[in-house]
Chains A and B, each alone.
Chain A
């Protein structure tokens, strides 16, 4: 399995500001995903980060609010823009393409609190 790291691990941000979350994998992967996990709720896929092309967003998520970069096969960033308290959540990066290509592996998550 891969080692996936995320930065920051947690942050407290003020309303109206933006936060960029980094996801680093220790090997090259084809697919990278960004999820949100809100308290008491299931994981929700925000977008699929494609290397060399724009991210593919799920219904309810837009690029202006959650811009994503994928400059290479080991790194991606998710920005949460113009934050509001409703954006308080855990943001997870996951990857696919290691060993059994149908498995997803998850990073430790970024716990975001917006005040």
Chain B
């Protein structure tokens, strides 16, 4: 069965620290990959996505993610976090094609201390 695993459930960092959130998926075919973010009191927003091409994708607010097909991974990174990055981060995967169903990870709660 398809699944998504986010390794870190709770992460606490100080401002200016580097961030890497792990995401691994289980799916046999071509995939579309997403990271969504949910800031406190706000709705889910798309952070970045990968469909094809360059496996290193850049998103909003300085975030990037790298798709490593051999490792079934799509880790999220940011070189220097800010207090405003405090949020819940969700990795999601969908099989490419007509199936629109997204498979979600459990999410990672990131707290950035000023």
Q: Bound pair: A and B?
A: yes
A interface residue numbers (CB < 8 A to B): 4, 31, 33, 40-45, 48, 58, 92, 94, 96, 102-109
**How many residues of B are in contact with the other chain, CB < 8 A?**
21
CB distance from A34 to the nearest CB of B (A): 12
Residues A48 and B106 in contact in the complex (CB < 8 Å), given A106-B43, A107-B43, A109-B43: no
Q: Report the number of A-B residue pairs with Cβ-Cβ less than 8 Å.
A: 44
Contacts of B42 in A (CB 8 A): 108
CA distance A14 to B43 in the complex (A): 26
Contact between A31 and B100 (Cβ–Cβ < 8 Å)? Answer: yes
B interface residue numbers (CB < 8 A to A): 4, 32, 34, 36, 42-46, 49, 51, 90, 92, 94, 100-102, 104-107
Contact between A42 and B105 (Cβ–Cβ < 8 Å)? Answer: yes
Additional A-B contacts beyond A4-B43, A33-B100, A104-B46 (11; CB < 8 A): A40-B106, A42-B90, A48-B100, A48-B101, A58-B101, A96-B100, A102-B32, A102-B51, A102-B94, A106-B36, A108-B43
